[in-house]
Amino acid sequence: MTPPRPPHVVILGGGSAGWITACLLHHRWAARGGRVTLVESPEIGIIGVGEGSTPQLKAMFDLLGIAEAEWMPACDATWKLGIRFSGWSERPGFESYFHPFPGPIDLHSEPGFIRACAAARRGFAVPAHPDPWFLASVLAGEGRSPHPGPQFPFAPGYGYHFDAYKLGAFLRDWGVARGIVHLPRRVVDVALDGRGDVAALVCEDGERIAGDLFVDCSGFRAVIAQQALGGRFISFADNLFNDAAVVIPTPHSGPVLPQTDSIAMQAGWRWRIPLTTRVGNGYVYSSRHISADQAETELRAATGMLDAAEPVRFLTMRVGRMEQTWERNCLAGGLAQGFMEPLEATALHIVIATALEFAQALEEGGFTPANRDAFNQQAAERYEGIRDYIVGHYRLNQRSDTPYWRENAANQHLSDRLKAMMTAWFSQADLAQANARLYGARYYSAMSWHCLFAGYGTFPAEDRMRPLPDGIDDGGLERVRAMLVACAGNFPPLPGVAQIR
Ligand X SMILES: Cc1cc2nc3c(=O)[nH]c(=O)nc-3n(C[C@H](O)[C@H](O)[C@H](O)COP(=O)(O)OP(=O)(O)OC[C@H]3O[C@@H](n4cnc5c(N)ncnc54)[C@H](O)[C@@H]3O)c2cc1C
In 3-state terms, what secondary structure has residue 263? strand
Q: Which residues pair with 279 in a beta bridge?
A: 250, 274
How far apart are alpha carbons 354 and 351 in whole angstroms? 5
Of the pair 80, 450, the CB lying nearest ligand X is at: 80
* Given 58, 80, 166, 419, the catalytic residue: 80
What's the half-sphere exposure (Cβ side, CA atoms, 13 Å) at 497? 10
Tell which phi-psi region holds residue 481, choosing left (phi > 0), alpha (psi between -120 and 50) or beta: alpha
CB of 474 to ligand X, least distance (A): 36
Of the pair 49, 63, the CB lying nearest ligand X is at: 49
16 assigned binding-site residue: yes
| 253 is annotated as contributing to ligand binding | no
Question: Residue 48 Cβ, how far from ligand X at the closest point, in Å?
Answer: 7
Q: Is 107 assigned a ligand-binding role in the annotation?
A: no
User: Which residues are near ligand X by CB under 6 A?
Assistant: 12-18, 39-41, 44-47, 49-53, 164, 186-187, 217-219, 221, 223, 245, 282, 284, 315, 317, 334-336, 342, 345, 347-348
Any catalytic annotation for residue 80?
Answer: yes
Q: Label residues 322-343 b or e (16+ Cβ within 10 Å = b).
A: bebbbbbbbbbbbbbbbbbbbb
- Confirm whether residue 396 is marked as ligand binding: no
Name which of 12 and 446 has its Cβ closer to ligand X: 12
Could you give the CA distance from residue 130 to residue 116 in angstroms, rounded to a whole number?
10
For ligand X, the closer of residues 167 and 438 by Cβ is 167
Distance CA 331, CA 317 (A): 21
Instruction: Tell me how crowded residue 486 is: count the other CB atoms within 10 A of its CB.
Output: 10
Angle between helix axes 416-426 and 431-439 (nearest 10 degrees) is 170
Cβ closest to ligand X, residue 162 vs residue 425: 162
Task: Supply the minimum distance, in Å, between the C-beta of residue 156 and ligand X.
Answer: 20
Q: Is 116 exposed, middle or buried (0-12, 13-18, 19+ CB in 10 A)?
A: buried
* Rounded-to-integer distance, Cα 329 and Cα 196, Å: 9
The CB-of-337 to ligand X minimum distance in angstroms stands at 8
The response to whether 38 counts as a known ligand-binding position is: no
Q: Which is nearer to ligand X, 41 or 109 (CB)?
A: 41
> Among positive and negative, which fits the CA dihedral 493, 495, 497, 501?
negative
Annotation-wise, does 344 bind a ligand?
A: yes
Amino acid (one-letter) located at 124: F
**In this complex, which beta carbon is closest to ligand X, that of residue 292 or of residue 465?**
292
- Minimum CB separation of residue 15 from ligand X in Å reads 2
187: left (phi over 0), alpha (psi -120 to 50) or beta: beta
DSSP letter, residue 144: B
The single-letter code of the amino acid at 355 is: A
CB of 86 to ligand X, least distance (A): 17
Distance CA 365, CA 170 (A): 33
Is 363 annotated as belonging to a binding site?
A: no
Q: Count CB neighbours of 2 within 10 A.
A: 5
CB of 282 to ligand X, least distance (A): 5
DSSP reduced 3-state for 61:
helix
Q: Which is nearer to ligand X, 223 or 431 (CB)?
A: 223
The DSSP element (H or E) to which 383 belongs, if any, is: helix 369-396
Q: Tell me which residue of 399, 407, 387, 400 sits closest to 96, measured CA to CA.
A: 399
Q: Per the annotation, does 95 bind a ligand?
A: no
Q: Quote the least distance from Cβ 29 to ligand X, whole Å.
A: 21
Dist. CA 186–CA 43, nearest whole Å: 8
Residues forming the annotated binding site for 7-chloro-L-tryptophan?
80
Residues forming the annotated binding site for FAD?
14-17, 187, 335
Among all residues, which ones are annotated catalytic? Answer: 80
Residues forming the annotated binding site?
14-17, 80, 187, 335, 344
Residues forming the annotated binding site for L-tryptophan?
344
